[in-house]
Amino acid sequence: MQIYLFINGEQVGPYSTEKIQAMLVSGAVTPETMAWYEGLPEWTPVTQVVQPSAVGGPGDIVIEGGPPQLAGGDGEVVLNIQHQAEYSRGQLLLRTFLGIFYLILPHAICLMFLGLAMNVCTLIAWFAILFTGSYPAGIYSFVVSMHQWSVRWMARVVNLMDGYPAFGMGNKGDGAGLEIARPVKSSRLHCVLRLFAPIYVGIPHGICLVFRQIAGIILFVVAFFAVLFTGKYPKGMHDFQVGNFRWSMRVMAYITMLSDRYPPFSGKP
């Protein structure tokens, strides 16, 4: 069968199952990448459609018409961080005592310079949307790719995942993934309203997120000892912390015009 993918805010494909299996194995496609084929009612994570080790499915099917727009094409934020069955006590202690040197500083320096470029890109995008009603695809891809790197890095900094995060833009197929569906058209009205975002977005969401982050700090400490003594990160705590990331990313996506969706007051998928 022929399958479409949604990568970096763009619909691509279609691809055969064999091609996608190869892309999954190589890391070119992450497990969190959204996929669709004819007959599927909505976009679904690609690993629920194709398994990397699966034997090829039915022959290619010619699709008439196109797939549905991913979440309306208005910037849905899909963020997932894999919960591991077992966590390494050694890596936990290494990150705690030496992480500032080998984990935090190298990535933070790179992301700091990319952040400066992203600020310039966001300013350019604001004027582009205001005059054309569209967020330039190349700039959109750059900004989302930078946030994908940031999510992958932060997942390790706060002990949600083991392993060392890869340097580089975009998702790397390591269990920490972010996808944002680029709107086909961006609203000029929302673009202008962003000037007042600190009031109608920053204040209400900021208040909620302050309390969420306080709870997150407490759970961070509890989870540290849970992993240290049991080698397991309680699933409920992990889901809550990922929810904090997801909520914050939705707010960021709206404020920076990656999405025209007003962020929900929730961290749920």
Interacting residues of 193 by C-beta distance below 8 A, sequence separation 6+: 200
For residues 64 and 82, state if they share a domain: no
Order across the sheet with 2-7: list the strands: 10-16, 2-7, 34-36, 44-45
CA distances from 35 to 14, 28, 54, 185, 198 (A): 10, 14, 16, 21, 35
Most confident of 59-68, 163-172, 177-186: 163-172
Q: Which two tokens stand for residue 93?
A: 């202690």
The CA-atom distances, in angstroms, between 122 and each of 97, 106, 134, 205 are 36, 24, 13, 21
What integer pLDDT is reported at residue 94 of this predicted model?
A: 97
Average pLDDT, stretch 155-169?
95
CA-CA distance, 170 to 149, in Å (whole number)? 6
Burial state string for 125-143 with b = 16 or more CB within 10 A and e = fewer than 16: bbebbeeeeebeeebbbbb
Average pLDDT over every residue of 72-92? 85
- Across residues 175-187, what is the average pLDDT? 86
- Does 30 fall in a domain? yes
Q: Quick one: pLDDT at residue 209? A: 97
The predicted structure's pLDDT at residue 62: 35
**What is the total residue count of the chain?**
269
User: What residue type is assigned to position 112 of the chain?
Assistant: M
The number of distinct structural domains making up the chain is: 2
pLDDT of 232 higher than 90: yes
Q: Are residues 86 and 204 in the same domain?
A: yes
Q: Is the pLDDT of residue 180 over 90?
A: no
Question: Please, which pLDDT band fits residue 124 given cuts at 50, 70 and 90?
Answer: very high
Q: Within 10 Å of residue 105's Cβ, how many Cβ atoms?
A: 11
| Terminal Cα distance for the chain, rounded | 28
Domain boundary among the residues 68, 98, 117 is at 68
Percent of the chain residues topping a pLDDT of 70: 88
The pLDDT of 109-129, averaged and rounded, is 96
Question: Model confidence over 198-222: pLDDT tens digits?
Answer: 999 999 999 999 999 999 999 999 9
Phi-psi region of 46 (alpha: psi -120 to 50; beta: other; left: phi over 0): alpha
Q: Choose the final residue of a domain: 46, 68, 90.
A: 68
User: What pTM, to 2 d.p., does this model score?
Assistant: 0.75
CA proximity to 181, closest of 25, 40, 12: 12
Q: Is residue 18 part of a domain?
A: yes
Specify whether 150 is located in the same domain as 202.
yes
pLDDT over 90, % of the chain = 62
In a domain, 182, yes or no: yes
Instruction: Name the residue range of residue 55's domain.
Output: 2-68
Same domain, yes or no, for 38 and 112? Answer: no
| Contact between residue 1 and residue 60 where contact means Cβ atoms under 8 Å apart | yes
Q: Identify whether 131 is part of a domain.
A: yes
- Confidence at residue 8, expressed as pLDDT on a 0 to 100 scale: 63
Mean pLDDT within 246-256:
95
Residue with tokens 């989302």: 144
Domain boundary among 68, 97, 118: 68
pLDDT at 126 over 50: yes
Specify burial of residue 262 (Cβ count, 10 A radius: 0-12, 13-18, 19+): middle
Q: Is the pLDDT of residue 27 over 70?
A: no
Read off the pLDDT band of 57 (50, 70, 90).
Answer: very low
The predicted model gives 49-55 an average pLDDT of: 59
Q: In this predicted structure, what is the pLDDT of residue 10?
A: 66
Same structural domain, 92 and 200? yes
193 pLDDT above the threshold of 70: yes
Shared domain check, 188 and 228 = yes
Statement to judge: residues 120 and 145 lie in one domain: yes
* Alpha-carbon distance values, 217 to 122, 171, 228, 241 (Å): 31, 26, 17, 9
Q: Is the domain of 247 the same as that of 125?
A: yes
Cβ neighbours, 10 Å, residue 110: 16
pLDDT at 73: 53
Q: What is the pLDDT of residue 54?
A: 40
Cis ω before 106 (30° cut-off from 0): no
The more confidently predicted of residues 95 and 177 is 95
SS3 239: helix
Indicate if the pLDDT at residue 65 is higher than 50. no
Same domain, 146 and 230: yes
For residues 35 and 16, what is the distance between their CA atoms, to the nearest angstrom?
12
Lowest mean pLDDT among 44-53, 107-116, 157-166: 44-53
